[in-house]
Amino acid sequence: MLLALVLASPPTAHSQGAEAAPNADSNADSDWPVFYEYYPPSTLVVPEHEVRRAKYPLVDVHSHLFEMADQDLSEVVAEMDELNMAVMVNLSGRGFDRVANPDGTMRFALRGGDYLERAVKNGRVSAPGRFLVFTNFDPNGLGEAGWLERTLAQLETDVANGAQGLKVYKSLGLGAVDAEGKRIAVDDPRLDPIWAKCGELEVPVLIHSGEPAAFWLPKDEHNERLFELIQKPERYRDPERVPSWDQIMGEQRSLFAKHPETTFVMAHLGWMGNDLARLGQLLDELPNVYTEIGAVLGELGRQPKTAHAWFVRYQDRVLFGKDSWTPSEYHVYFRVLETDDEYFDYYRRRHAFWKMYGMKLPDEVLKKLYYKNALEILPGLDRSLFPAD
Ligand SMILES: [Zn+2]
């Protein structure tokens, strides 16, 4: 009760909430923790199994190295070895650059020129077979004369230079604007030639659309991602000003349906990790769609039974992804996927303030998640890095 009252006050000063709470009783003078500081160490005594190394060699299909062309990769490779990560897919093959707008403000843009080619080469020279690179395109300016021709030519060149797929950032559908300054829908028909080209070149498209639905919800005690919206206020999506979650994810679904010849990997479980039945329906209807678990482990670890059954049912459609390269965080992934441990910590409270439980996936399901499904859709993978069966 008191925690809820504290929550109702601005999350600034430590004690301010308790003082301001209207019905604070005899504890009114106490220095109560605000809700996001309340995280008592567990006193539960149960078996614990830390997993620092994946049971099978792993392909991480959702990673980002933003300086891969010029980076010394030896440290990354050593860390990958410790995790039993055979291959990292760097989705940021075109890196990022800061460029000036006409008005002097700065924005991020993709790197042009031979950046991607150098990134691919660096991977091949430093650690043959251990890195795959996806290319990117910037949807801003769609509709300008020559935009489509330029973008298609770049895509073909990048694939010829070793890119193994296309990663689409969430800006498509959320912020990117066309030549007229209008928001570009995820399924904008003017982009159709790009998705068709990926099908033709037989490279998958890993696409991140939208955000967790909670980012559109009121910032109050009913919002499961409130802590994140306090820590990262810019992530809030004002429903008055931006299209709804349903709109954006509906556009993504329509894109998948329009291009059955193209293989898509829907990033982050399509932000449906909290409703796996709904996600399963989408996969049932769209056989060209796979998904991956980057940054959404917290959803799985709170429903180990439902998630276990779902992973068994959809074992051919899910890939391993993580998103941010922090090696120790993979241990939590492995623990949720491989053990049946109970009530242990996740690594980022703004994703999940609740505890994790292990799903203990069957070996065959784990193998598919870790590498077999990746082998199906990424023909550039070196098969010799994985068990033959
Ligand atoms: Zn990502």
Please give the chain's pLDDT, 389 residues, in tens.
344 434 444 444 343 444 444 444 555 567 788 877 888 999 999 999 999 999 999 999 999 999 999 999 999 999 999 999 999 999 999 999 888 888 888 888 999 989 999 999 999 999 999 999 999 999 999 999 999 999 999 999 999 999 999 999 999 999 999 999 999 999 999 999 999 999 999 999 999 999 999 999 999 999 999 999 999 999 999 999 999 999 999 999 999 999 999 999 999 999 999 999 999 999 999 999 999 999 999 999 999 999 999 999 999 999 999 999 999 999 999 999 999 999 999 999 999 999 999 999 999 999 999 999 999 999 899 999 999 98
CA of 207 to the centre of ligand 1 (A): 9
CA of 380 to the centre of ligand 1 (A): 21
Please, which residues have CB less than 5 A from ligand 1, an ion?
Answer: 323
Q: What's the pLDDT at 71?
A: 96
Q: What is the pTM of this model?
A: 0.92
Q: Is the dihedral of CA 101, 104, 107, 111 positive or negative?
A: positive
Beta strand spans in the chain (E): 58-63, 85-90, 97-100, 106-109, 131-135, 165-168, 205-207, 264-266, 289-292, 318-319
Residues 6+ apart with CB under 8 A from 127: 73, 77
Domains and CATH numbers, the chain: 1-40 (no CATH), 54-382 (3.20.20.140)
d(CA 321, CA 294): 4
CA of 181 to the centre of ligand 1 (A): 25
The upper half-sphere exposure of residue 45, i.e. CA atoms within 13 Å in the direction of its Cβ, equals: 0
CA of 80 to the centre of ligand 1 (A): 18
CA of 62 to the centre of ligand 1 (A): 6
Contact 58, 85 (CB under 8 A): yes
